Amino acid sequence: MKDQFFGYIQDLQKRIISKLEEIDGKAHFKKDEWKREGGGGGLSCVIEDGAVFEKGGVNISRVFGKLPEAMQKAFQVEEGDFFACGLSLVIHPTSPKVPTTHANWRYFEMYDKNGNIVQQWFGGGQDLTPYYLDEEDAIYWHTVCKNACDPHHPDFYSKYKKDCDTYFWNAHRNEGRGIGGLFFDYLKPTSDFSVEQWYQFVISVGDSFLEAYVPIVEKHKNEAYTPAQREWQEIRRGRYVEFNLIHDRGTHFGLKTNGRIESILMSLPPHVQWKYNHHSEEGSEEEKLIKVLAHPQDWI
């Protein structure tokens, strides 16, 4: 399974990069291969100062070896070996009219002293963070997410949609980071659902990403915007930073396990603002977004 899934994300990384470069038409992804002390490494692919994408990373990693202490604690297990691989992406478009997106698909194995698998699971998801709310986009995004889930289980979409709203909750602000999508973790094989079935589910979601995001980018990428709208985007990006640095388990985990800093923090937006006590005007488009973030909707 680990080779099968790593092969999948290697191919998916290529597909995503190629499509995003085609949309951008100006910038190209720079490739950074890195090695991890202790075993494994990754390939970080980063685009900056594009025509459409101001900053974005589409990174894969495949790491293994002795389970780091922080992971032993987190999983409440003894010493042992592990294997983890995943694709993680964050795309920050230049225009405030085009939403930011984040996605991640990953697989994990833990072994006993004899090298037998004692634990294995998938995790991941994809979510959308608009700066202006386009309800049609929100319905479209969630419909693609639902279509990726439905063939695998009738309850998956509603469960992982709720889990996404819960996970990407900026608790100190009482609002969601964005309008959600899917979030799942610890998808372990059971008598009902084999590891192969989870794999099929996860790659369905992975395969749906471009279908979900690309039409939204194409629809808005040439829309005009004002400096005030750009400022609003930079202020909202501040909330993105707050979520990632204060609440995101993935970020904390990466930092605690001596992950590659530049790959972990490539998720942070390029230009960001913090204004004291900023509030959007009543009845404005900005306020419309905030209301939806404070009360996650059922889009379908």
Nearer to a copy of itself, 160 or 240 (CB): 240
Q: Give the up-direction half-sphere exposure of residue 7: CA atoms within 13 A in the CB hemisphere.
A: 5
Out of 28, 92, 102, 142, which one is annotated catalytic?
A: 102
The residue among 175 and 286 lying less far from a copy of itself, judged by its C-beta, is 175
28 catalytic per annotation? no
Nearer to a copy of itself, 69 or 262 (CB): 262
**Is the CB of 112 or the CB of 234 nearer to a copy of itself?**
234
266-221-250 Cα angle (round to 5): 25
State the nearest-atom distance from the C-beta of 266 to a copy of itself, in Å: 5
Residue 178 · residue 128 · CB < 8 Å: yes
CA dist., res. 243 & res. 240, Å (int): 5
Question: Sign of dihedral through CA atoms 140, 144, 150, 154?
Answer: negative
Nearer to a copy of itself, 206 or 269 (CB): 269
What residues are paired with 123 via a beta bridge?
106
Is 222 in a helix, a strand, or coil? coil
Other CB atoms within 10 Å distance of the CB of residue 284:
11
The smaller minimum CB distance to a copy of itself, of residues 112 and 242, is found at 242
Write down the least CB distance from residue 69 to a copy of itself, Å: 15
Ramachandran quadrant class, 232 (left: phi over 0; alpha: psi -120 to 50; beta: rest):
alpha
Are 105 and 127 in contact by the 8 Å Cβ rule? The answer is no
- Which of helix, strand or coil describes residue 113? coil
Q: What's at 76, amino acid-wise?
A: Q
Supply the minimum distance, in Å, between the C-beta of residue 284 and a copy of itself. Answer: 20
Query: Within 13 Å, how many C-alpha atoms sit on residue 240's CB side?
Result: 29
Residue ranges in contact with a copy of itself by CB under 8 A: 32, 46, 48, 55, 57, 171-173, 234, 238, 241-242, 245-246, 252, 255, 261-262, 265-266, 268-277
How far apart are CB 18 and a copy of itself at their closest, in Å? Answer: 20
User: What backbone phi and psi angles, to 5 degrees, belong to 86?
Assistant: -170, 165
Q: How far is the CB of 213 from a copy of itself (least distance, A)?
A: 20
| Smallest distance from a copy of itself to CB 255, Å | 5
Angle at 178 between CA 177 and CA 183, to 5 degrees: 85
Q: Which residues are catalytic?
A: 102
